[in-house]
Amino acid sequence: MVTLSQKLQQYFFISAIVLSIIGIVFIFSAGTYWGNVHYTGQTPFYQKQAIYFIIALFICIAMMNWELLRSQKIWGMLYIVSLVLLVAVMIPGIGIVRNGSQSWIGIGPLTVQPAEIAKVTTIIYISALLSQRKSYERIVQWKHFMILMIPSALIMLQPDFGAVFILVVVVLIVFFIAQYPLRLYVVLISLGMAGLVGLIIAAPYRLKRIEAFINPWADPLGSGFQAVQSLFAIGPAGLFGHGLLKSRQKYLYLPEPQNDFIFAIILEEIGLVGGMGLLLIFACFLVFGYRLALQCDHVFHFYAICGLTTMIAVQAGLNIGVVINLLPVTGVTLPFISYGGTSLVVIWVTVALILNLSNDKRKE
C-alpha cells in the first residue's frame, strides 16, 4: 500500500522533472541564436543542459536512499568542507572570475560554484543544531548566527550578494520556525538595513543597480539595459504571447537570455497565461516539499526540508522579481529553468536531500 508520504515524494519528484524539461525547451528557444553568434562551433546550450539534467538525475537517484545523509554528524564536516571551498575560490589561479565575481573553481572542463554548495550545507547544519535544543530552550544561541555569518562573509568577498541574501533569509525563516523570539527580528532587520547601506557605499556599482531598478529608462543603454529589454519582452506579449520559439528579444537584444532573464523570454513566448502556468507548477513543487516536511518524525529532518524548500522558493521569487522589475538585478538564476550545470546539479542535489530526509520515519 502506497503511503501519503510516498505519494508526496512521487509528486514532488515528477514536478521537479517537469520543471527541468520546461527549462531545456526554453533554453533551446532562448539561447540557440545567442550561442550561434557568440559561441560558434560549440555544443548548443540546450544540449549541454540536457546532459547536465541526466547527470543531475543520476546523482539524485543515487543520493535518495543514502542513509548517511540523514545523520546530523556528517553535516558538520560537510559544512567545514564548504568553508574550505569558499576560501579556495578566492585564491588566484584556483578561482575563476566571471562577470566581475570570483565565484567558480575549475575542475577540468567543469566549473563548481562553492557558494551554491555552502548554502545547502549551512542550512542543513543549522537545522541539525536547532534540533538538538530541548523543548524548553527558546533562548537565542549566538553560535547559530556565527555559523551563518562565516560563509556569508566569505561569499560577499567574491562578491555574490544574491547568494548571501538567499542564505540569510532562509536561515532566518528556519529560526522563526524554530521559535526564535520575534523581538530578535526587529534587531536583525535594523542591522540588515544598516549593513545594506554599508554594502552600497562600499561598492558603487550596487548603487547603480538600485538607480536602474527605480528608473531603468534613465540609462537605457547602460545600467538599466537588462531591465528595459526584459520589460520590452514582457510588455507586448499579452495574455498568450507571440508563440513558442517566436521571441524577438532573444535576437541579441536581451543579453544572455538563456540565463538569469529566461523568464522574460518565457513570458514573451507564452504570455501571462503560460507564465502563470509555470508558476503553478513551481507552487505545486513547493507545496509537496512543505508537506513532506510535515510528514517527518525527526525535528532535524523537518527543519532541514523546510529550509531547503524555502531556499528554492526564495531563489525563484528573487529571480522572477528581478525579471519583472520588482527587485534590483542580483544575478540569481531561476531554479530548474535557467542554463547552468552547477545550478541545475545543486538544485537536484537539494531535491535528493529533501526526498532522502523525508524517508526516515523512525520516532525520536
Q: To the nearest whole number, what is the mean pLDDT of the chain?
A: 87
d(CA 325, CA 318): 10
Highest mean pLDDT among 90-94, 121-125, 189-193: 121-125
Find the range with the poorest average confidence among 13-22, 56-65, 108-117, 252-261. Answer: 108-117
Q: What is the pLDDT of residues 164-200, one digit of tens each?
A: 999 999 999 999 898 887 777 777 777 777 776 776 6
Structural domain includes residue 362:
no
Residue with cell 528556519: 174
CB 241 within 8 A of CB 270: yes
Instruction: Quickly list H helices, the chain.
Output: 4-38, 45-63, 73-88, 114-131, 142-156, 161-177, 183-202, 204-214, 225-234, 262-294, 299-323, 341-357
Structural domain includes residue 238:
yes
Residue 351: domain span: 4-357
Q: What is the pLDDT of residues 320-355, one digit of tens each?
A: 999 998 888 888 999 999 998 888 999 999 999 999
% of residues, the chain, pLDDT over 90: 49
| Entry field: residues in the chain | 364
Structural domain includes residue 364:
no
**Amino acid 199: pLDDT:** 65
Q: What is the pLDDT of residues 208-224, one digit of tens each?
A: 667 777 777 777 777 77
**Amino acid 215: pLDDT:** 77
**Amino acid 204: pLDDT:** 64
Q: In what order do the strands lie in the sheet with 110-112?
A: 95-98, 101-107, 110-112
d(CA 43, CA 46): 8
| Residue 92, strand partner residues | 95
Q: What is the pLDDT of residues 283-300, one digit of tens each?
A: 999 999 999 999 988 899
Find the range with the poorest average confidence among 72-86, 91-105, 110-124, 262-276. Answer: 91-105
Residue type, 289: G
| Residue 98, strand partner residues | 101
Mean pLDDT, residues 109-121: 87
d(CA 250, CA 255): 8
Reported as type and span, the H/E element at residue 97 is: strand 95-98
**Amino acid 27: pLDDT:** 95
- 357 or 204, which is more confident? 357
% of residues, the chain, pLDDT over 70: 91
Residue 229 phi/psi, 5-degree rounding, is -65, -35
DSSP state of 133: S
Structural domain includes residue 231:
yes
Residue 157 pLDDT greater than 60, yes or no:
yes
Residue with cell 555569518: 149
**Amino acid 329: pLDDT:** 81
Q: What is the pLDDT of residues 297-314, one digit of tens each?
A: 889 999 999 999 999 999
Structural domain includes residue 363:
no
**Amino acid 4: pLDDT:** 82
Coil/strand/helix, residue 361: coil
d(CA 312, CA 308): 7
d(CA 320, CA 326): 8
Domain total of the chain:
1
